Amino acid sequence: MSNPFHLTFPANDHIADANGLKDTLKPKESELVPLDANLVDQVWGKERPPRPTNPIFPLEVKYAGKSSYTRPRIQPYFIEGTSFSDKIKQLRETLTEKKASGMVISMLDEVAWLFNLRGSDIAYNPGLFLTITISINLLTV
């Protein structure tokens, strides 16, 4: 089984980042090495249970709520009843302000909040298994 999570970004935007990482690892006599197989899949072997396929449903904007504090991460404070497209727009504005090329969002509650989605992949938890990569021009689910 191949890794379902692939980060795809325009190469020209991230050459400096890749070279910076390479330069940081070099004095430590370390390097990034591409792998042909997903190591997590190899550890699980045939014992890995299947991912849930429970339904996902949208949360109406009127129930999207209001954040009770400014998030400590890169996300800015959002107003009550904000649509997911407005949240994405505001997040991209914050990425631009912070001069960040993008980010990965994998926490179940953050993905659910950002897209105003709810699921039942985990019992008694409205989160859903989904990883998001977002840049100024690209959103990958």
Q: What SS3 class is residue 134?
A: strand
Q: So what's the pLDDT on residue 65?
A: 60
Average pLDDT, the chain: 76
Residue for token digits 């991209």?
Answer: 92
Between CA 79 and CA 89 the distance in angstroms is 13
**How much is the pTM?**
0.58
Q: So what's the pLDDT on residue 133?
A: 92
Residue 43's pLDDT band (cuts 50, 70, 90): very high
What are the tens digits of pLDDT across the range 83-134? 888 888 889 999 999 888 899 998 888 888 888 888 888 888 887 888 899 9
Helix pair angle (84-97, 108-115), 10° resolution: 110
What is the radius of gyration, based on Cα positions, of the chain?
A: 18
Between CA 110 and CA 116 the distance in angstroms is 10
- Amino acid 109 reads D
Residue % of the chain over a pLDDT of 90: 10
With beta carbons less than 8 A apart as the criterion, state whether 111 and 52 touch: no
Q: So what's the pLDDT on residue 93?
A: 92
Phi, psi of 107 (to 5 degrees): -70, 130
With beta carbons less than 8 A apart as the criterion, state whether 103 and 95 touch: yes
What are the tens digits of pLDDT across the range 65-76? 644 334 444 444
